[in-house]
C-alpha cells in the first residue's frame, strides 16, 4: 500500500493537535522528559511495542531521563505521512502513563 507524503499545510494543521511535537529537518520530533532513567526506559519499551503493532518505526533515542523521537516514513522517501501522525498520537497517549512531560 503506497503512502502519500503530506503537504506542509497538512503537517502544520495536524501538528496543532499534537502539542510538543514539531517538524525538524523533515521529521516529526518530540522529546519527553521523565522522572528517572527507569521511567524513560519503560517508556521506550512501550513505544517499541506500539511500533511493532503498527509496523512503523521511528528513530528513538534514550537519554538518562529523556526519550526523543524522530518520525518519518521510509517507504515514502523519508517524507512525513499520515502513518507518522498515527504513531505520534499513540506515543502521545502513552506519555501520561509514564509521567512524561
Per-residue model confidence as pLDDT tens digits over 63-86: 999 999 999 999 999 999 999 999
Chain Cα centroid distance, residue 22: 10
Assess if residue 2 is contained within a domain: no
| Per-chain mean pLDDT for the chain | 96
CATH code of 48's domain? 3.30.1360.20
Total number of domains in the chain: 1
Assess if residue 1 is contained within a domain: no
Question: How far apart are alpha carbons 39 and 53 in whole angstroms?
Answer: 21
Question: How far apart are alpha carbons 89 and 91 in whole angstroms?
Answer: 5
| Residues ≥6 apart with Cβ < 8 Å to 24 | 70
Q: Which domain holds residue 82?
A: 8-14+23-98
With cut-offs at 50, 70 and 90, classify the pLDDT of residue 1.
Answer: low
Amino acid at each position: 500500500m503506497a503512502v502519500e507524503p503530506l503537504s506542509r499545510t497538512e503537517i502544520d494543521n495536524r501538528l496543532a493537535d499534537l502539542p510538543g511535537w514539531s517538524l525538524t529537518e523533515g521529521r516529526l520530533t518530540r522529546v519527553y522528559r521523565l522522572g528517572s532513567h527507569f521511567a524513560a526506559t519503560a517508556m521506550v519499551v512501550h513505544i517499541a511495542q506500539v511500533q511493532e503493532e503498527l509496523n512503523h518505526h521511528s528513530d528513538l533515542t534514550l537519554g538518562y531521563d529523556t526519550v526523543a523521537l524522530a518520525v518519518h516514513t521510509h517507504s515514502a522517501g523519508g517524507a512525513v505521512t499520515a502513518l507518522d501522525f498515527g504513531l505520534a498520537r499513540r506515543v502521545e497517549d502513552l506519555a501520561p502513563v509514564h509521567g512524561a512531560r
